Chain A
């Protein structure tokens, strides 16, 4: 039987081998194209992720300083304790060891350390010394990282101006929120190679983009004046059992706010314990009816419009009927003959309403607008209110009885400060400001541009008003004699206004105020004090002495001398009759109930 032995076919084997090699090479080439070309970015990123580490470099938040460079808010690096619960072998022992150092309940720490996670915060933003003592315990799985903490060295000083930050150092209130972008700076980045154990390779590839520190902000606030203003306000609130209050100091020539105090207050270092009411900057956010302080606008408008002169005499009864309502003076008196200056100095509601009626609704409204009512002061503060100034078309028939004496309109404390600042600045309104300058991370200082004055009334009118208002503190029947500062001439006005019940339905309680400026011949400071429901209710007895305390300290601290003495405007000659006589302004029919002081 013959066996057929097939002859080898080299050509076929070669072809098979060639085909196999081609298929293999094609697969390899395809994979190479996939890895090197089509998905190169993905694989590159995966490789980089294994050996590279990116660290965000948080920027240093800018400081907030007072006008002399004293730090009011600044950031420091603290230590935050973290733990990997999976690496903690004995949570109970670890918690018991950590509790006394951290001042936290051991059970709370143990609960964190027993969580089914690989990361927990044990305590944030600790003093580095405390963190070091914790790390010295050598507890496995417990470590620390750096974190920046916002600190306010003077505690509650100017708290409502500065505001506060959240747990991630983001501004949440006040100037911290308003200038968040400026203060926060820009984060940087660190890219470094690490070995399989996670350690950085010193000579490996690394890249650093440094963070840019936030700008420092210089305020117009004077730390000492701010402190004294807060102290005087706190004493007044306590002494007169008020619900709260506002006090401010301002330079009328530049609009710089030197102090802004609010009560109740809070400590921005511990903002979690503060109520929303305590965190509110009432000087800018709350509107109130200004009461008799508003009479200076009525007087300025009447003098400017030529309706009356300070020496003109008026016949002033103690009440005036307008429609169904009767407006009364603060105290009963027979019909008197008073100069217009005396009407303002004695804060006569009836006399002021009579003059306002001669002025008319449109002109009254025009001057209220000119003095800044109905719009924010321009301070550029978060949540600043613009007050309430209803348009003439919405005025009631009794509005010419209420608005000239400061009821039926509402203003913020800053708005009423701007009114007196305009009078003190020869009739030029200057926009108030809180920011004096900024300094960027390169040390370049940029001063804020001074506001251009806006003419509201003529300088002569402002001068006449000043002489009238000196009589409020120096005149025999002036309502603000307790605001007089020994050695200085002070021009100012008391205010006592009813508080409207929120939502309507009448009035309950009183807001008392005194706003004024000194030295009257060359005003350098405007001070305003507003008390919420003090006892007694009269601004001349509560706000005026507080004003004196603040003004006296501020003048002394800033080295402002008394200046020359101005003669009073509209002061009657000795022996002049104070009753009877014909009225120079006998226009309009009165109404409404009496209110302001």
Chain B
């Protein structure tokens, strides 16, 4: 800018003269009626313009709504956190309950196995006067089947009696099944 006084310039001859600016001359500014107001609606609404003119931006309503939204968001977050915490407590309780029930189930299984053990069953049986069978008998269902020593036919199991009960065909079929 060449706004310095001419005297100073003259007292500093050693200085090289500043190069001349070759900035092209700008046309003079002029007011275009309605020009700014025509473009304004693109960025700022009439209410905002009014608010700016009135010097009270942001409006109370805007602050209130924003505060409500923020408060609702914070409340929601807290509520969510509380729900998560409650759910985790409930989950922990349920897991404890599951472990307790599993443990109870295993204890009951142990009790069953303990009481069903043959030694205890035998002891209980002896206490009520039960004794092991001394001998056993076999029913021979097939005609002509060789019998081992000690085996005897029970009444009602010989060939004639079985034929009478089962009938000829059923008796023969039973015999063939046995042989297979």
Contact = CB atoms under 8 A, between A and B. Distances in A.
B170 interface: no
Contacts of B145: 564
A223 B149 CA distance: 30
A183 to B, nearest CB: 15
A547 B37 CA distance: 119
Interface string B132-176: 010110100000011111110000000000000000000000000
A560 to B, nearest CB: 11
A561 interface: yes
Nearest to A520: B148
Contacts of A141: none
A597 interface: no
B88 A151 contact: no
A147 interface: no
A202 B106 contact: no
Contacts of A231: 122
B151 A154 contact: no
B95 to A, nearest CB: 10
Interface in A471-494: 474, 484, 486-489
A486 B135 contact: yes
Contact of A565 (B106, B135, B136, B147): B147
A75 to B, nearest CB: 8
Nearest to A556: B136
Given A76-B107, A562-B148, A154 B85 contact: no
A79 to B, nearest CB: 11
A379 interface: no
A151 B110 CA distance: 8
A157 interface: yes
Contacts, number: 77
Contacts of A71: 109-110, 113
Contacts of A561: 138
Given A202-B85, A203-B81, A227-B122, A488 B110 contact: no
Contacts of A564: 145-146
Interface in A136-155: 151, 153-155
A77 interface: yes
B117 A157 contact: yes
B119 interface: yes
Nearest to B85: A203
B109 A74 contact: yes
A151 B114 CA distance: 10
A484 B147 CA distance: 15
B101 interface: no
B118 A157 contact: yes
A70 interface: yes
Nearest to A486: B150
Nearest to A485: B150
Contact of B110 (A74, A226, A227): A74
Nearest to B95: A208
Contacts of A487: 136, 138, 148-151
Contact of A562 (B110, B113, B135, B138): B138
A426 B62 CA distance: 100
Contacts of B117: 153-155, 157, 223
Nearest to A71: B113
B79 to A, nearest CB: 14
A75 B110 CA distance: 9
A157 B114 CA distance: 11
A486 B149 CA distance: 7
B179 to A, nearest CB: 11
A76 B110 contact: yes
Given A76-B107, A202-B89, A556-B136, A488 B113 contact: no
A202 B151 contact: no
A224 interface: yes
8 contacts: A77-B106, A153-B113, A157-B118, A202-B92, A203-B85, A228-B118, A231-B122, A474-B149
3 closest A-B pairs by beta carbon, nearest first, are A486-B150, A227-B118, A153-B113
Given A153-B116, A487-B148, A561-B138, 10 more contacts: A74-B113, A76-B103, A157-B118, A202-B85, A228-B118, A486-B149, A487-B150, A489-B148, A552-B136, A556-B133
